[in-house]
Amino acid sequence: MIDWFVFAVAAVATLSGALGVVMSTNPVHAALMLVMTLFSVAVLFVAQNAHFLAAVQVIVYAGAIVVLFLFVIMLLGVDKSEDMGKERLRGQRPLALVAGLTVLGAVLLLARSEWVSGAQSAAGPLGDGSQNVEILARSMFTRYLLAFEITSVLLVIAVVGAVVLVGRPATPDAGTPDAGTSDAATSDGGTSAPATSGAGPSDEVGS
Amino acid sequence: MKVPGAWYLALAAALFSIGAIGLLVRRNVLVMFMCIELMLNAVNLTFVTFARMLDDVGGQTAVFFVLVVAAAEVVVGLGIIVSIFRRRSGATADDVSLLKG
């Protein structure tokens, strides 16, 4: 009985949060609705004995990713409401609704049938949830160890990519071509007249 | 009494389709990103449900990797969004339709 109650409350919160993300005109409100959905999904994880994933869901998603979203919204100053009244592409919303409902119908149709064989996979049994962290850790650090290490490479690539994307380009007056030519000039004229060639770059810097 | 897994799967399907509709309808790039997060969460919920139904730890391991990939995707995507907005302010997805720009 209590399971059904938890599921009903979490399901209503999940769906209303998702609808709030889609329908709210203000991006800040959308981000807060996303937090509600993520918390509800974490509750559903707990109800299914996935305690570690629920903790990670709250910490990583609600704690880090949504804060990152809000940070970018505030940084860019795009927290003004969007005009949802008119649609730019004619017939976009009905077509999107049809496509989404088609996806929903197809998934529900597939969920009706029995597609699983019931055979145990190579990953191992899950248990009753009392040792969730131990079982998950043993699976991750033995069978999926290579994939786990590849994810660290992925995170490093993502960090480097973000720095490259967001980092400002070098200012033009401190760019490399001028420095290269002045260095070449000093190295060429360095044997004949070191004093005058040494004064050249300092004049450029001063001007 | 445990809730049957089919209810969780139906909820995940509804969540996924709401995210897909939002991704198709909205024009704000940040909200589109949030809709992608909704779809990823629906998939995670499906994985966890199947892990419980089939008594298999592989589903929960897959959710862990999806979380990592989602974090990397958000970092790179928000970097792209910041660099777009730095070039032109108030841009929506319709304004960024050119590859050269």
Q: Residue A76 in contact with residue A28, Cβ under 8 Å?
A: no
Sign of the dihedral defined by the CA atoms of residues A150, A152, A156, A158, in that order: positive
Q: Hey, which residues 109-148 in chain A have their CB within 8 Å of chain B?
A: 111, 116, 118, 120-127, 132, 135-136, 139-140, 144, 147
Check B72 against A1: CB less than 8 A apart: no
How far A198 CA lies from chain B's nearest CA (Å)?
40
User: B76-90: buried (b, 16+ CB within 10 Å) or exposed (e) per residue?
Assistant: bbbbbbeebbeeeee
Distance CA A16, CA A82 (A): 20
Here the tokens at position A176 are 């490399």
Q: What percent of chain B is helix, strand and coil (3-state, nearest 5)?
A: 80, 0, 20
Distance from CA of residue A150 to its chain's centroid? 18
Q: What percent of chain A has pLDDT over 70?
A: 70
The 8-class DSSP code of residue A61 comes to: I
DSSP symbol at A124: -
Chain B interface includes A30 (CB < 8 A):
yes
Instruction: Give, in order, the Cα–Cα distances in Å from B32 to each of A93, B24, B38, B77, B89.
Output: 14, 8, 10, 11, 17
Report yes or no: B97 at the A interface, CB cutoff 8 Å.
Answer: no
| Structural domain spans, chain B | 29-89
Report the pLDDT averaged over residues B66-92. Answer: 85
Cα–Cα distance, A28 to B23 (Å, whole number): 17
pLDDT of residue A56: 92
pLDDT-derived band at A94, boundaries 50, 70, 90: confident
pLDDT single digits (tens) A115-165: 666 666 767 777 777 788 888 888 889 989 999 999 999 999 999 999 988
Query: A139: closest CA among A155, A151, A121?
Result: A121
Q: Mutating which of A1, A25, A72 best tests the B interface, going by the most B Cβ atoms within 10 A?
A: A72
CATH class of A1-81: mainly alpha
Q: Are A153 and B88 in contact (CB under 8 A)?
A: no
Closest-CA residue of chain B to A128: B55
pLDDT tens, position by position, A18-48 = 999 999 888 899 999 999 999 999 999 999 9
CA of A107: which chain B residue's CA is closest? B13
- B63 touching A (Cβ < 8 Å): yes
Q: Where are the domains of chain A?
A: 1-81, 128-169
Secondary structure of chain A: what % helix, strand, coil (to 5)? 75, 0, 25
Give residue A179's pLDDT.
43
